[in-house]
Amino acid sequence: MHEYDLIIAPLISLVCIAIGLIVYLYDSKSSAGKVFAVISCSIGVWILGAFLSDIRSIDQYSLFFNRLVFVALFFLMGGLLYLPFVFPNRSKFATYIKWPLVIFSVFFGIFALVTPYIVAKIEFEDWGSNLTYGNYFMIFTVFAFAAIIISLVKFIINYLRSKPEERTKLRLFFEGLFLFMLITIIVHVVIRNIVGSDEFYRFGNYAAVIFVAFTAYAIVKHQLFNIKVILTEIAVAVVSGSLFVEIFLSKTPLEWGTSILLWIIATYGGYLLIKSVIREIKFREELQVMAEQLGHANAHLKELDQMKTEFVSLASHELLTPVSAIEGYLSMLLDEHMAKVEDPKAVKYLTNVYSSAKRLARLIADMLNISRIEEGRLLVEKKDINLSELVLQAIDEIHFKADEKKQRIVFENDEIRMTKSELNKNDQNQKFETYGDADKIKEVVINLIGNSIKYSKDPGTISVHIEKVPTPWVQEKWQKIEEDIKSRPLDDQEAIHSAVDEHFRNFVGSTQLMIAVKDQGIGIPKEELPRLFKKFHRVGDYTTAESQGTGLGLYISRALVELHHGRIWADSEGPGKGSTFTFTLPDISDKEELLKMEAQAPKKESLKPLAKPTKAAEDI
């Protein structure tokens, strides 16, 4: 026997027993955990008994230890035969073979321990010990051979019938068994018989720890947190066991006292370590439970949100028709004077009703658009667009609002300030073209200019500017905006959450067209800027009777811009210093790349156009 066997054999035996007991503690409710504990502890006793039987200083006990090895082997083979009937799932035959196997293993285990009929005597050789077997040794041989064959066949059947997760566990079992058998064959056949050396024959037994470790992991694999505890406990057991063995190898009182002290410190420290790991695991398990509950709640909220969107879409569609009829009849009464209403009070009341009807029509149209955007059912019909002409069309449609407040809208294009009439006469204008839905882009421009008019109390100038900028500049600008919003409360982060598919939102090309609408209005507080593009959000103290709205315009504008691979944001130096709303669109030169990207987007059915209120309702 070599000196390293004095440490390795007890250590591996201790590890096998520790693994078996730990798996039993963490999986005691399952039959697989109990059977594995029997197998692992039997392997530990087998390795320890074989080691002790070869120690010459206690050769008077060698026969007992060798018989103890066969006791362990009877239990090992019984457990190995029973394991495939309870792992990975319990078979209906497990109940019928359980007690016969227990009775057989216990009976012949005791039979092997107290009688000479399995192991008759022992003789020592230079390399170890040589056994003389008894008359009934064949019982063990047949039982062991049958247990191994039946177990392997049953495990293969389980593997072929198993589900993917169960198959992973069985694969671990087979890998551990294969490595154990491979090392055993190398040691006992190749090295011992071919090379002619008995120096390493015990390593065939020691390799059983690999099978134990792989099988243990396979059984408790579903308990991911427990594995950390198991590994910690095994590590502590290994360290403590090594130091404990070192006590008996000490040669002087000083070494003996030092070894005992180190063993006590290491064992107590290991106990504290295990305790802290268990505490950490419990905390993580609680977090995992909370995360799962949160996941279920989130899924339920998504279902409710989907139901809400469908309800809003249905309700808005049904409401739009009667509201439009109310608005139409009131318009005929008040605007077209198709009937005489002479009572001033009646005119006042009808005017209030008419104003509310227009506001309601605008709200319903916005709600319809939101539901269509969030369901991905908004019809987008893209074509080549001259952006300069589109902006001028938008200005022409909304200039009457600016006239009412004595505001001037100018189109600044490439350092040339001009109105529509001046633009038509000027040949120096640079063309800015994009590929998109003209109706939806115009909706964004009108909405931004309308907001500038609405929130500008004093006469002033509203300027619209277009220029080409590098895409990296836009990406960097947007990244800073995103980082700022993500650092704010979750409620504010809704301003960057999008219902638009990524195939439409991704940046395209190296150049972007940037459209900016700048006013000299009341400005926006810095803390309000990240919240502007949320649903139903309106700036706090600036909601006046003169500027009533739904709080949906900017949210819809953001979605429409993102449907064109662009981004939209706002800048303001603060209250009273005006504001600038900017959005970007891809350049026409990148049309081919844009079409390829959008062709990959999922196709939706029942597409609907952008819902619009009547012309009168647009005044609100």
- Tell whether 58 is covered by a domain: yes
What is the residue type of 212? V
Point out the domain boundary residue: 163, 182, 208.
163
Based on the structure, what is the number of domains in the chain? 2
The pLDDT value given to residue 543: 43
Quote the DSSP letter at residue 492: G
Q: With both helix axes pointing from N to C terminus, report the angle between 31-53 and 62-82 in degrees, rounded to the nearest 10.
A: 160
88: cis peptide before it, omega within 30°? yes
Token pair for 169: 């566990």
**What is the per-residue pLDDT across 262-288, written as a single tens digit (0 to 9) for each?**
888 888 888 888 788 778 777 877 887
Give 449-468 pLDDT, tens digit per residue.
998 988 887 788 899 999 99
328 domain-assigned: no
> In 221-343, where does DSSP find H-type helix?
224-249, 253-334
Q: Name the residue range of residue 38's domain.
A: 3-163
Distances in Å between the alpha carbon of 268 and those of 262, 274, 313? Answer: 10, 10, 67
pLDDT at 477: 92
SS3 518: strand
- What are residue 41's phi and psi, to 5 degrees? -65, -35
Q: What is the pLDDT of residues 346-387, one digit of tens each?
A: 888 888 888 888 888 888 888 888 888 887 888 888 999 999
β-pairing, 433-436 with 383-386? Answer: antiparallel
Indicate whether 369 belongs to any domain. Answer: no
List CB contacts of 559: < 8 A, sequence separation 6 or more: 370, 373, 498, 499, 500
Name residue, tokens 């156009």.
609
What b/e string do you get for 382-396 counting C-beta neighbours within 10 Å, with b at 16 or more?
beebebbbbbbbbbe
What is the pLDDT at residue 542? Answer: 45
Q: Is residue 185 part of a domain?
A: no
User: According to the 3-state scheme, what is the secondary structure of 134-172?
Assistant: CCCHHHHHHHHHHHHHHHHHHHHHHHHHCCHHHHHHHHH
Domain-embedded: residue 432:
yes
Q: Shortest CA distance to 560 belongs to which of 592, 583, 534? A: 583
What is the pLDDT at residue 321?
A: 74
Helix (H, G, I), strand (E, B) or coil at 47: helix
Percentage above 70 pLDDT, the chain: 86
Averaged pLDDT, groups of 10, the chain, 620 residues long: 72 86 76 89 89 76 88 93 89 88 92 91 68 88 92 91 82 84 76 62 78 79 56 74 75 83 87 80 79 84 74 69 80 78 83 83 81 82 92 90 87 52 46 90 92 83 92 92 87 82 88 93 86 77 50 88 93 89 94 89 78 53
The CA angle 237-241-242, to the nearest 5 degrees, is 120
Quick one: tokens of 349?
């009341």
447 found inside a domain? yes
CATH number (domain holding residue 466) = 3.30.565.10
The pLDDT assigned to 436 comes to 93
Question: Residues 128-165: pLDDT tens digits?
Answer: 567 788 889 999 999 999 999 999 999 999 889 888 87
- Domain membership flag for residue 251: no
Kindly give, in sequence order, each residue whose CB lies less than 8 Å from that of residue 326, ignoring residues fewer than 6 positions away. 353, 357
User: According to the model, what pLDDT value does residue 51 have?
Assistant: 83
Tokens for 270, please give them: 């290991």
Q: Is residue 175 part of a domain?
A: no
Question: Which DSSP symbol is given to 1?
Answer: -
Distance of alpha carbon 560 from alpha carbon 537, whole angstroms: 17
Tokens (6 digits) for 320:
């739009």
Give the span between the Cα atoms of 419 and 399, in whole angstroms.
11
Q: Which pLDDT does position 566 carry in this prediction?
A: 93
Residues paired with 466 in a beta bridge: 413, 515
Q: Is the dihedral of CA 604, 608, 610, 611 positive or negative?
A: negative
pLDDT, tens digit, 9 for 90 and up, residues 423-454: 444 444 457 999 999 999 999 999 999 989 88
